[in-house]
C-alpha cells in the first residue's frame, strides 16, 4: 500500500481524524484514493494541504476562504502554470492585507471613541449614567 491512512495523516499533521473527515466532507480537501478493500489512502500532498489549511487559519482565514483559495490554486495551477498559482496566492494575500488594514482602522476608531470617554468630565459621565435609571413618569 502506497500512501498513508487517515490515522497516519492525522499524526503527521497534528489534526484529528475527525477534522480530516470534516475537511473531506465539506470539500476543503478532495476525496482520497481508495485501495481494493475500500480504505482511504492519502498521499504526501494531503500533508502539504493540511499544513496550508492550518497556516491559513493561524493567519485569520476562515475555512470558507481557505476552501476557495485551495480550489482557485488547484484550478489555476492545473489549467495554466505555477506562475498563475503564484499570482492567485499573491492576490488572495493582498486581499487579506486590505481586510486587516480595514479592521485595524475600525479598531483604531473604536479605541479613539473609548479614549474620549475616559477623558469625559465627571459631570457628563454622571448625566450619561443617570439616563439609564428608571424614572417614574409624573
Using only C-alpha atoms, what is the Rg of the chain?
Answer: 25
Q: What is the pLDDT of residue 93?
A: 86
Total number of domains constituting the chain: 1
Q: What's the Cα-to-Cα distance from 97 to each of 89, 93, 100, rounded to whole Å? A: 12, 6, 5
Angle value at C-alpha 107, between 124 and 132, nearest 5 degrees: 30
1, part of any domain: no
136, part of any domain: no
pLDDT tens digits, 65-81: 999 888 887 776 555 56
Q: What is the pLDDT of residue 77?
A: 57
Most trustworthy range by pLDDT among 7-21, 33-47, 92-106: 7-21
Q: For residue 138, is pLDDT > 50?
A: no
CATH no. for residue 67? 1.10.1660.10
Section 8-12 average pLDDT: 96
135, part of any domain: no
pLDDT tens digits, 44-54: 999 999 999 99
Q: Which ranges of 1-138 would DSSP assign to H, the alpha helix?
A: 6-13, 17-25, 44-58, 63-79, 82-118, 122-130
Q: What is the mean pLDDT of the chain?
A: 87
Range of the domain at 26: 6-130
d(CA 56, CA 81): 22
86, part of any domain: yes
SS (H, E, C) 78-93: HHCCHHHHHHHHHHHH
100, part of any domain: yes
pLDDT tens digits, 80-125: 566 677 787 888 889 889 999 999 999 999 999 999 988 989 888 8
Amino acid at each position: 500500500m502506497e500512501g498513508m491512512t487517515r490515522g497516519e495523516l492525522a499524526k503527521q499533521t497534528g489534526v484529528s481524524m475527525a477534522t480530516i473527515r470534516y475537511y473531506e466532507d465539506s470539500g476543503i480537501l478532495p476525496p482520497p484514493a481508495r485501495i481494493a478493500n475500500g480504505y482511504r489512502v492519502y498521499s504526501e500532498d494531503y500533508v502539504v494541504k493540511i499544513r496550508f489549511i492550518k497556516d491559513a487559519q493561524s493567519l485569520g482565514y476562515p475555512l470558507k476562504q481557505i476552501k476557495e483559495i485551495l480550489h482557485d490554486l488547484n484550478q489555476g495551477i492545473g489549467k495554466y502554470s505555477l506562475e498563475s498559482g503564484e499570482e492567485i496566492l499573491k492576490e488572495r494575500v493582498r486581499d487579506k492585507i486590505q481586510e486587516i488594514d480595514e479592521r485595524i482602522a475600525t479598531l483604531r476608531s473604536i479605541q479613539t471613541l473609548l479614549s474620549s470617554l475616559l477623558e469625559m468630565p465627571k459631570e457628563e459621565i454622571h448625566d450619561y449614567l443617570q439616563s439609564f435609571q428608571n424614572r417614574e413618569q409624573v
